[in-house]
């Protein structure tokens, strides 16, 4: 009989075999997993961790403040069909999020919000009430009956507001939409805004024009009164006056605006060297599309040249143009796509915004002895001031504006705030044509004026597109223009309950390194192209000068001229080949960088997980349990 103290083990602790131990471990892990989930669902209901960069899923301080200060009790009815998530499983998590967030609103409102979740069964009273509230039916493939997924809210004074359908495309807007709805019903009286509209925000039914979303959103939160004709006073209770693309304002109206500012009133002026969206007679482009606010600007000490537009290659918006007989995608420097780097992050109206689009915008300036002009949106030092007429031309190569425009000493300011001491634009007092009743004010020490060099930015074209979701037309924002408009009104009116919610829904995360590479290669291409064109022009001019002297009078070129023409043709072909090589190198570099970024995004996390797992596997100690066996 022999005894091997280090024989291969056949049993583990407790007499379990390796296979039994593995099976038991898996079973215990499964039980633990289920137990933790049950515990979390019960004990941690409503808890969440927001790891997004912009904290999209965290209730804002503005929402919490609004809910704690509600003066009006609200009744929220969530119409959610039980079969919706079965017919459309992709909506399950979104439906849970909507229901959970509504419950959070009710929990934080100190009893001022009542939430009711309703399953409107077919042909029931609940279904009729849902339709009566304006909740949309959702027709889904494979579902025998239409479904509902919307919200109806009422207050104690018969006010009502609805979200006809919760669209997944607006998931990032969820808190904003809900808070806007609560604010709309929860405040007894809306603040008043007076509007002088010269561009068509209110629409033109005769021409088929609809009300623009910026104005529609403003109406949800404010009592908007549109002014026209001679303005000799502003409606009682007006907190903000907005002037959009002023043209042909009468002397009484100009004086009323001047005295409003001199009296400390808040004014927003959206002016434009060329309002591209302004329509003339029979829907044709307006013959004169420049704003005219010079009488007040000059009197207040504000510089604004209505004949020049800003052109900037750094913030140029990509557009499709036909250039030299080819359809190409080029950056239009007169159409500005401003990202956060161009916006004043210390301004409540702009701090959370990620993108704004301005087209043929003008710029502002003041003299050394002028009023205080605080820049809110500034383009780059590479910008030029181009002719507004050329900038609005829809044909040709828009990049030519960069060579024809005037260089500037400082980066142009396209949105600004005018504050401090300002003198009246009417130093001689009230004009005879005015019926302004208050005593003339010669100056103010507390001017409160917001200036924008673009009026088109408030039109739908510049910031939203309509999408059809479950049969409903849902506006989808690709820029924060509307958010800026509402934020600015809210800030100037003295409130900011919704300001920190706007802007988070536009998921604009450009690949800045790729864009910088494209701009650099574009600049190289343009420089080469410009040198080529200049060389061709000089050679053609030399040929024209040479022809009368060297020609033999019968319209034929001399041998020397033929040789020079051949040299020019060869030079032209070589230059074009060089241009093609620059374009090819541009696309190659950009595509290589895009491929690298895609590879990192897709493969980096799995790769890191594999490395960590391998690291721990290699570090795990290998131990055996010696057992005593008899031979």
| Mean pLDDT of the region 208-225 | 88
* Measured distance CA(36)–CA(43) in Å, rounded: 10
Helices (H), 60-207: 61-68, 84-87, 92-108, 125-133, 174-186
| Mean pLDDT of the region 589-595 | 66
Tell me the pLDDT band of 363, cut-offs 50, 70 and 90.
very high
Cα–Cα distances in angstroms (integers) from residue 273 to residues 306, 358, 418, in the given order: 4, 12, 19
- Which of 226, 176, 92 has the alpha carbon at shortest distance from 499? 176
- Which of 243, 265, 258 has the alpha carbon at shortest distance from 296? 258
| Mean pLDDT of the region 40-46 | 58
pTM (predicted TM-score): 0.63
Looking at the chain, how many residues does it have? 631
* Measured distance CA(139)–CA(144) in Å, rounded: 9
> CB–CB of 472/445 below 8 Å?
no
| Mean pLDDT of the region 359-383 | 92
> CB–CB of 272/304 below 8 Å?
no
- Which of 292, 245, 301 has the alpha carbon at shortest distance from 270? 245
pLDDT for 568 equals 66
pLDDT exceeds 70 at position 282: no
> CB–CB of 365/303 below 8 Å?
yes
The larger pLDDT score, comparing residue 135 to residue 509, is at 135
pLDDT for 168 equals 82
pLDDT exceeds 60 at position 4: no
Helices (H), 363-409: 388-391, 401-404
Residue with tokens 């570090």: 619
DSSP, residue by residue, 29-82: HHHHHHHHHHHHHHHTTT-----STT-TTSPPHHHHHHHHT--S-EEEEEEE-T
> CB–CB of 11/626 below 8 Å?
no
pLDDT for 510 equals 54
pLDDT for 221 equals 84
Residue with tokens 């075999």: 17
What is the percent of the chain with per-residue pLDDT over 90, rounded to a whole number?
42
Cα–Cα distances in angstroms (integers) from residue 599 to residues 52, 132, 594, 606, 609, in the given order: 22, 51, 9, 11, 15
What is the percent of the chain with per-residue pLDDT over 70, rounded to a whole number?
70
- Which of 334, 304, 306, 305 has the alpha carbon at shortest distance from 318? 334
Tell me the pLDDT band of 183, cut-offs 50, 70 and 90.
confident
Provide the token pair at 403: 């060579």
DSSP 3-state of 540: helix
| Phi, psi angles (nearest 5°) of residue 423 | -95, 150
> CB–CB of 179/104 below 8 Å?
no
| Mean pLDDT of the region 206-210 | 65
Provide the token pair at 198: 């010269």
pLDDT for 5 equals 47
Number of C-alpha atoms within 13 angstroms, CB side, residue 396? 8
* Measured distance CA(252)–CA(231) in Å, rounded: 6
* Measured distance CA(75)–CA(52) in Å, rounded: 31
When mean pLDDT is compared across 55-69, 272-286, 305-319, 537-551, the lowest value belongs to 537-551
Please write the tens of the pLDDT for every residue from 79-94: 999 888 777 777 888 8
- Which of 348, 407, 394 has the alpha carbon at shortest distance from 60? 348
Helices (H), 320-461: 388-391, 401-404
> CB–CB of 199/456 below 8 Å?
yes
Please write the tens of the pLDDT for every residue from 123-137: 899 999 999 999 998
> CB–CB of 276/360 below 8 Å?
yes
Burial classification of residue 197, based on how many CB atoms lie within 10 Å of its CB (0-12 exposed, 13-18 middle, 19 or more buried)? buried
- Which of 401, 390, 392, 415 has the alpha carbon at shortest distance from 277? 392
Tell me the pLDDT band of 508, cut-offs 50, 70 and 90.
very low
> CB–CB of 307/290 below 8 Å?
yes
Burial classification of residue 379, based on how many CB atoms lie within 10 Å of its CB (0-12 exposed, 13-18 middle, 19 or more buried)? buried
Please write the tens of the pLDDT for every residue from 572-581: 677 667 766 7
The larger pLDDT score, comparing residue 499 to residue 187, is at 187
Provide the token pair at 562: 């033929």
> CB–CB of 458/480 below 8 Å?
no
Number of C-alpha atoms within 13 angstroms, CB side, residue 120? 26
| Helix, strand, coil percentages in the chain from 3-state DSSP, rounded to 5 | 40, 25, 35
pLDDT for 32 equals 75
| Mean pLDDT of the region 296-317 | 96
pLDDT for 378 equals 97
* Measured distance CA(107)–CA(186) in Å, rounded: 16
Neighbours of 13 (CB within 10 A): 7
Residue with tokens 């399950």: 92
Please write the tens of the pLDDT for every residue from 452-480: 999 999 999 999 987 776 666 777 889 99
Number of C-alpha atoms within 13 angstroms, CB side, residue 603? 6
pLDDT for 471 equals 62
Tell me the pLDDT band of 550, cut-offs 50, 70 and 90.
very low
pLDDT for 192 equals 94
pLDDT for 34 equals 77
Cα–Cα distances in angstroms (integers) from residue 25 to residues 22, 35, 160, 608, in the given order: 5, 15, 57, 26
Please write the tens of the pLDDT for every residue from 189-199: 788 999 999 99
Neighbours of 209 (CB within 10 A): 15
- Helix and strand numbers, DSSP H then E, in the chain: 14, 22
Tell me the pLDDT band of 1, cut-offs 50, 70 and 90.
very low
């Amino acid at each position: 009989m022999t005894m091997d103290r280090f024989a291969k083990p056949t049993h583990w602790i407790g007499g379990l075999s390796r296979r039994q131990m593995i099976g038991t471990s898996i079973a215990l892990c499964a039980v633990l997993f289920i137990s933790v989930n049950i515990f979390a669902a019960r004990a941690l209901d409503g808890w969440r961790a927001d790891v997004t960069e912009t904290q999209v899923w965290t209730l804002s301080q503005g929402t919490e403040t609004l809910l704690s200060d509600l003066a009006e009790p609200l009744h929220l009815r969530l119409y959610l069909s039980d079969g919706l998530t079965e017919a459309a499983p992709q909506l399950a998590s979104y439906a849970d999020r909507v229901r959970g967030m509504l419950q959070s609103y009710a929990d934080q409102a100190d009893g001022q919000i009542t939430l009711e979740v309703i399953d409107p069964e077919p042909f029931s009273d609940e279904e009729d009430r849902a339709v009566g509230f304006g909740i949309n039916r959702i027709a889904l493939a494979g579902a025998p009956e239409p479904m509902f997924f919307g919200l109806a809210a009422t207050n104690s004074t018969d006010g009502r507001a609805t979200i006809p359908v919760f669209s997944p495309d607006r998931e990032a807007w969820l808190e904003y939409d809900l808070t806007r709805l609560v604010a709309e019903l929860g405040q007894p009286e809306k603040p008043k805004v007076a509007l002088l509209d010269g561009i068509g925000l209110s629409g033109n039914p005769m021409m088929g024009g609809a009300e623009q979303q910026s104005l529609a959103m403003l109406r949800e939160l404010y009592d908007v009164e549109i002014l026209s004709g001679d303005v000799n006073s502003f409606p009682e209770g007006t907190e903000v006056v907005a002037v959009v693309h002023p043209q042909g304002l009468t002397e009484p109206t100009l004086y009323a605006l001047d005295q409003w500012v001199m009296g400390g009133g808040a004014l927003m002026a959206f002016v434009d060297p060329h309002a591209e969206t302004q329509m003339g007679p029979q829907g044709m482009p307006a013959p004169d599309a420049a704003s005219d606010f010079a009488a007040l600007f000059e009197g207040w000490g504000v510089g604004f040249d209505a004949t020049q537009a800003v052109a900037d290659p750094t913030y140029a918006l990509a557009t499709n143009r036909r250039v030299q007989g080819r359809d190409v995608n080029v950056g239009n420097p007169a159409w500005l796509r401003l990202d956060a780097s161009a916006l004043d992050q210390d301004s409540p109206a702009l701090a959370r915004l990620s993108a704004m689009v301005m087209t043929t915008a003008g710029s502002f300036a003041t003299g050394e002895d002028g009023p205080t002009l605080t820049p809110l949106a500034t383009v780059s030092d590479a910008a030029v001031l181009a002719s507004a007429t050329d900038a609005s031309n829809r044909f040709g190569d828009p990049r030519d504006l960069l060579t024809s425009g005037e260089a500037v000493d400082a980066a142009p300011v396209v949105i600004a705030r005018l504050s401090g001491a300002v003198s009246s634009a009417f130093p001689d007092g009230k004009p005879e044509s005015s019926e302004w009743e208050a005593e003339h004010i010669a100056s103010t020490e507390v001017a409160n004026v917001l200036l924008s060099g673009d009026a088109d930015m408030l039109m739908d074209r510049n910031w939203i597109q309509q999408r059809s979701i479950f049969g409903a037309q849902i506006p989808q924002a690709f820029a924060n223009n509307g958010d800026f408009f509402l934020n600015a009104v809210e800030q100037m009116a003295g409130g900011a309950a919704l300001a920190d919610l706007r802007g988070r829904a536009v998921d604009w995360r450009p690949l800045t390194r790729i864009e910088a590479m494209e701009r650099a290669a574009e600049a190289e291409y343009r420089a080469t192209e410009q040198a080529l064109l200049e060389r061709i022009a000089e050679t053609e001019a030399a040929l024209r000068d040479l022809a009368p002297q060297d020609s033999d009078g019968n319209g034929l070129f001399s041998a020397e001229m033929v040789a020079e023409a051949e040299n020019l043709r060869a030079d032209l072909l070589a230059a074009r080949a060089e241009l093609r090589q620059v374009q090819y190198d541009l696309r190659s570099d950009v595509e290589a960088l895009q491929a690298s970024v895609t590879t990192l995004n897709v493969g980096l996390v799995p790769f890191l997980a594999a490395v960590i797992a391998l690291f721990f596997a290699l570090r795990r100690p290998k131990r055996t349990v010696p057992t005593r066996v008899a031979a």
